[in-house]
Chain A
Amino acid sequence: MRNKFWFLTKISFFKKIKNKTFIIVNILLFIILVSLTNIDSIINFFGGDFKKSNNIMLVDYTNSFYDRFDEKMSNNPVNTFNYKLTRYYDEESARKKIKSDNDLLLIVKDDIQNTISVKLVTYGYINTTLYGTLESISNDIKKELSLKSLNLDKTKLNSVTSNIELTREFINGKKNEKEEKNNLLLTLFFPILILPFFLLTVTVIQMIGAEINEEKSTRSMEIIISNVSAKTHFFSKVLATNVFVFVQTILLFVYSSIGLLLRPTNLDINTLSSSLNGVDLNLDLSVLSKMISAVPVAVVLMIITIFAYSLLAGILASVTTNMEDFQQMQMPIVIIMLISFYLSLASAMFNGSLFIRILSYIPFVSSILSPCLYLTGVLGIKDVIISIVLMIIVVFILIRYGLRIYKNGILNYSSNKLWKKIFKSIKE
């Protein structure tokens, strides 16, 4: 029986690996991941250029705008583009220089009502980040000039224009400002990191459902089950699918690593960050160390949860007779996954909320929410371990009662009252 278990597992695993869809999907994934990790080089290759300089020409009729603009552009913290600033005194000759989308002309004039007016002349459309930066700096200068017209001295002027200094104090001595900022950053990052987990779980559910349904609908299930017990068959499917997911995860890492290795050696993280819409990738070490400490517990919780999802998918697939029925049955599972995914996204907004904390212990939801709250400091390691223990209990229940459902379900071809069938099997 043991040999038959490994035989079934091997057959099921290689069936997935040799499948044309798997090969095509992996070729596509390889291309996508290598492309994503080299997106800047690709954009450069096709003519876009992160390092290409914007030629900003400025005609300043006010004689008080240019210097301020130059200073603010140099100090701009969200400077995700290169530029060259030139002052022109003749508007017409500056206009003649506009020959591409990288050439910009700012014409600044005095304005009685608004202090100054600024006109932006370009060849075509410009990117929104650059437009926003120019608008924001122009507004700042306009405010400064307006205040200056009130004849305020430099100190007062500085106090009006400078940003407020918000300092933090924590009654709880273990808390600090740096960690608070890092937590916020991690809350934003975690949903991105769990996206592969989400997709792999959906894959597990779909694969087990499809395979059991295929064997059931072709009636080959009767032949297989007459040779091995329902338990052996069930666990061979679960194991094969989980191993497949593990292999797929490794492959995703390999593709990403190849993509990183293929990057030019003079990797500029800021250039990459600019391609990711301004996300700052400069994580400090404390953030990284917290992320690293969260990895083992998160991985353990996720592995147990994927295993539980695969058990659940197998049980539900056994009572259905076709893929349409299974799609309906798996809807609650997908909804649970979506809820946990969105809760982890929203957890930053409701940081510390008792409701979110309670939800983080609930099996299945916990796989995403619990590590997310751990990273943000809402939960401690003990809470995550409680989530793991609860998940193990659910796995035990699924095996104990699910096997009964599976054994009765796989040979039952009635497609009526599926939930009634499930509850009836549990009682038997």
Chain B
Amino acid sequence: MLKVNNVSKYYGSFLAVDNLSFEVKEGEIFGLLGENGAGKTTTFRMILNLLEPSSGSITLNNKKIDYSATDKIGYLTEERSLLLKLTVKELIHYYASLKSMSPDKIDRELDYYLDRFGIKEYKNKKIKELSKGNAQKIQFISSIIHKPKLLILDEPFSGLDPINTNLFIEVIKELKEQGTIIIFSSHQMNNVELFCEKLIILSHGKTIVSGYLDEIKNRYKERKIILKANTSIKELSEIKNINKVEKNADHYELYIDDEKYVQDIFKSISSLKNVTKFEVVQLSLNEIFIKEVEKNA
């Protein structure tokens, strides 16, 4: 289990992370979210022992993380962290050797993952010759090749198309099944919602939201109604208890403060022509994120 206990980090007098606490068990995927500069990278660096916390403690299986534990950790950085002049094979050998893997094992695992990600032919190509998406695949392979116990993924889907994103998700889910502790950061909230059970939203280093995803969503009584009908924004805005109306390509989104108003609104809407869809949904993680970050700005 990874335990982050009351961790704070100061850069001079600037407080980058303020009293952060969370726990992630084996086989759990934990989302660490926040706007740019919220303290995510600083937190990752403290977990990786790159930075010393100003206060608090971080432990992996009840042991302080030091350089004896780094072979068990995989890290995918937000920005590309690849040596451009090396070939794919050389780079993976370099990074995996730093994880104390034997050359034979590296070759075996590399062939497997290159095949799985459909880039076998790039094995001897230089990194600088790869596309953004393929470079991201190599970076991902370098972070998981040693089958880490703790995997930190900072924006793993950056530069990937939906097909490759799904490929990554498959592998991440497999690692979760194998009991890997996964900490995940992304600005793409739909991806976070897909497989993060627990999360924290940071703003200016402070935890503003934390808990299991379902719990967090249930905390918000606000609801969104997705409506497909022949109507207009003006007509919908006149309905009582609707706070905001947004028109999308083929539907309207109506925002209400509480689920209790749904029945009344449904009655009003039933008088409209050609109603083909009326769906009440909870706020998305993206909406919760924006709402909370704006509230704490």
State the A residues within 8 Å of B (CB).
1, 3-4, 7-8, 11, 214-215, 218-229, 411, 424
* Contact status A222-B83, CB under 8 Å: no
Nearest Cβ in chain B — how far from A373, in angstroms?
44
Tell me which residues across on chain B come within 8 A of A219, comparing CB atoms. 77, 79-81
A222-B76 Cα distance, complex, nearest whole Å = 10
Given known contacts A223-B142, A229-B67, A411-B45, A218 and B99 CB-to-CB distance under 8 angstroms: no
Give the distance in Å from the alpha carbon of A227 to the alpha carbon of B70 in the complex: 5
Residues of B with C-beta under 8 A to A228: 67, 70, 98
Q: Which chain A residues lie closer than 8 Å to B51 at the CB level?
A: 411
Which of B50, B84, B85, B97 has a CB less than 8 Å from the CB of A225? B50
B67 touches A223 (CB 8 A): no
A3, A221, A223, A225: the one within 8 Å of B95 (CB): A223
Q: Bound state CA distance, A367 and B181, in angstroms?
A: 54
* B22 at the binding interface (Cβ < 8 Å): no
Q: Taking CB as reference atom, which chain A residue is nearest B49?
A: A226
Bound-state CA distance A229–B98 (Å) is 12
Do B83 and A226 have beta carbons less than 8 Å apart?
no
| Interface-central residue, B12, B45, B51, B97, by most chain A CB under 10 Å | B97
- CB–CB A227/B99 < 8 A: yes
Interface residues on B, range: 20 to 34
B184 CB contacts on chain A under 8 angstroms: none
Are A226 and B73 CB-contacts (below 8 A) given A218-B80, A218-B81, A411-B45?
A: yes
In chain B, residues 129-188, which have Cβ atoms closer than 8 Å to a Cβ of chain A? 142
Q: How far is the CA of A8 from the CA of B100 in the complex (A)?
A: 12
- Could you tell me the distance in whole angstroms from the C-beta of A299 to the nearest C-beta in chain B? 34
In the complex, 28 of the A-B residue pairs with CB atoms within 8 angstroms, ordered by the A residue number, are: A1-B68, A7-B97, A7-B98, A8-B98, A215-B83, A218-B84, A219-B77, A219-B79, A219-B80, A220-B82, A220-B83, A221-B81, A222-B50, A222-B75, A222-B77, A222-B81, A223-B77, A224-B98, A226-B48, A226-B49, A226-B50, A226-B75, A227-B67, A227-B95, A228-B67, A228-B70, A229-B67, A411-B45
Taking CB atoms, residues of chain B closer than 8 Å to A7 are 97-98
Residues of chain B lying within 8 A (CB to CB) of residue A224: 98
- Apart from A7-B98, A226-B73, what 16 extra A-B contacts exist at CB < 8 Å? A3-B100, A4-B98, A11-B94, A214-B83, A218-B83, A219-B79, A220-B82, A222-B81, A223-B75, A223-B77, A223-B95, A224-B98, A226-B48, A226-B49, A227-B98, A228-B98
Min C-beta distance of A12 to chain B, whole Å: 11
Chain B residues with Cβ under 8 A from A1's Cβ?
Answer: 67-68
Assess the B50–A220 pair: CB atoms within 8 A. no
Could you give, for residues 37-70 of chain B, a 1 whenever the CB lies within 8 Å of some chain A CB and a 0 otherwise?
0000000010011110000000000000001101
- Nearest-neighbour CB distance to chain A for B78, whole angstroms, equals 9
B98 and A218 form a contact (CB under 8 A): no
| Chain B 7-18 interface mask (CB, 8 Å, partner A; 1/0) | 000001000000
CB-defined contacts of B75 to chain A, threshold 8 Å: 222-223, 226
Q: Which residue of B lies closest to A227 (CB)?
A: B98
Which partner residue on chain B sits nearest A10 by CB separation?
B97
CA A228 – CA B68 in complex, angstroms?
9
Determine how close the nearest CB of chain B comes to the CB of A296; give it in whole angstroms. Answer: 39
CA distance A254 to B82 in the complex (A): 37
The chain A residue sitting closest to B70, CB to CB, is A227
Please, which residues of chain B bring their CB within 8 A of the CB of A223?
A: 75, 77, 81, 95, 98, 142
Residues on B with C-beta less than 8 A from A220 are 81-83
Q: How far is the CA of A263 from the CA of B83 in the complex (A)?
A: 45
For residue B280, give the distance in angstroms from its CB to the closest CB of chain A.
44
CA A227 to CA B67, docked complex, whole Å: 7
**Closest B residue to A217 using CB positions:** B84
CB-CB under 8 A from A3, the residues of chain B are: 100
**Nearest Cβ distance between residue A193 and chain B, in whole angstroms?**
36
CA distance A174 to B105 in the complex (A): 71
* Chain B residues closer than 8 Å to A222, beta-carbon distance: 45, 50, 75, 77, 81
Q: CA–CA, A226 to B48, complex, Å?
A: 6
B13 to chain A, nearest CB (A): 12
